Amino acid sequence: MKSPFFCLVIVFMMVVSALPAAAGQKPRLSEEEIERRLRFIEQRLNDGRGSARRWQYGWSSFFSASTALQGYMAVKSSNADNEAKYTVGAVKSAAALALMFLRPLPAVKGAEPIGTMPLGTPERKAARLAAAEELLETNARRARERKSWKRHSAAVAVHFIGSGAIAAFGDLRDAAVSNVTGIAISQIHIWSQPHRAIDDLSDYERAFPDPPAPEEFTWELTPIRGGLGVAIHF
């Protein structure tokens, strides 16, 4: 027959082994806190929608017009130099337009992507908050691209390649003008991208800091006189 002490140790081990499952988890937020956070994020997402749409649709319209106009001039031109210049210009504008459609600003939709998510239960509210936070972070990541050296370098490289094609098949002066104007337009395009999402994310993190997580601990069996003991380390 097992001693009472042995049985007590077994029970204690079972209780302690169940505790680490809760340790380290993100603290649960109250429904009121979740609703406050949701209101903040959704308001900021909707506030940034206007500037994002003006940038997205404005530049899309510009590249559309540039593609159509230069494509028309390339077709109608009877001069080889002009044909090379307008063809390269049309191709570059078309590529920029395609990129606008393939990678639209997520901020254009505001809070619409999370607007249809249900709010009936605490779990659903928490899921909507998680989606809202992810959307806010996505907008901020995209806004930071305006300072990315890779993006600026890629834009410059495209125009050097285009000007090289014009120089090879057309006029050297046209190549230089195309290169300078193309780089200038691309830089205006990049730097004019809305970036308020960066401040929105910073404001959210300052206004709603995460509560401290429960203190983690470890435990181990240690030999003691007459049996085993359990050592808990906080």
Of 88, 119, 102, give the one whose Cα is nearest residue 182.
88
Token look-up 């050592």 returns 231
Would you place residue 45 in the very low, low, confident or very high pLDDT band (cuts 50, 70, 90)?
A: very high
Strand blocks (E) in 8-148: none
- For residue 7, the model assigns a pLDDT of 45
Would you place residue 219 in the very low, low, confident or very high pLDDT band (cuts 50, 70, 90)?
A: low
Q: 107-155: per-residue pLDDT in tens? A: 999 999 999 898 889 999 999 999 999 999 999 999 999 999 999 999 9
- Mean pLDDT score across all residues of the chain: 86
Contact call for residues 118 and 132 (beta carbons, < 8 A): no
Phi then psi dihedrals of residue 217, to 5 deg:
-150, 165
Would you place residue 210 in the very low, low, confident or very high pLDDT band (cuts 50, 70, 90)?
A: confident
Contact call for residues 40 and 207 (beta carbons, < 8 A): yes
The residues spanned by each domain of the chain are: 29-211
Give CA–CA dist 139/147, Å, rounded.
14
- Tell me: pLDDT of 33 over 50: yes
- Tell me: pLDDT of 227 over 70: no
Cα–Cα distances in angstroms (integers) from residue 168 to residues 93, 159, 164, 181, in the given order: 20, 14, 6, 18
The pTM score is 0.78
- Tell me: pLDDT of 22 over 70: no
Sign of CA pseudo-dihedral 165, 168, 169, 175: positive
Residues 195-216: what's their mean pLDDT? Answer: 85
- For residue 168, the model assigns a pLDDT of 94
Give CA–CA dist 17/15, Å, rounded.
6
Residues 159-169: what's their mean pLDDT? Answer: 96
What residues pair up with 218 in beta bridges, in sequence order? 233
User: Phi/psi zone of residue 221: left (φ > 0), alpha (ψ -120 to 50 degrees), beta?
Assistant: beta
Give CA–CA dist 75/65, Å, rounded.
15
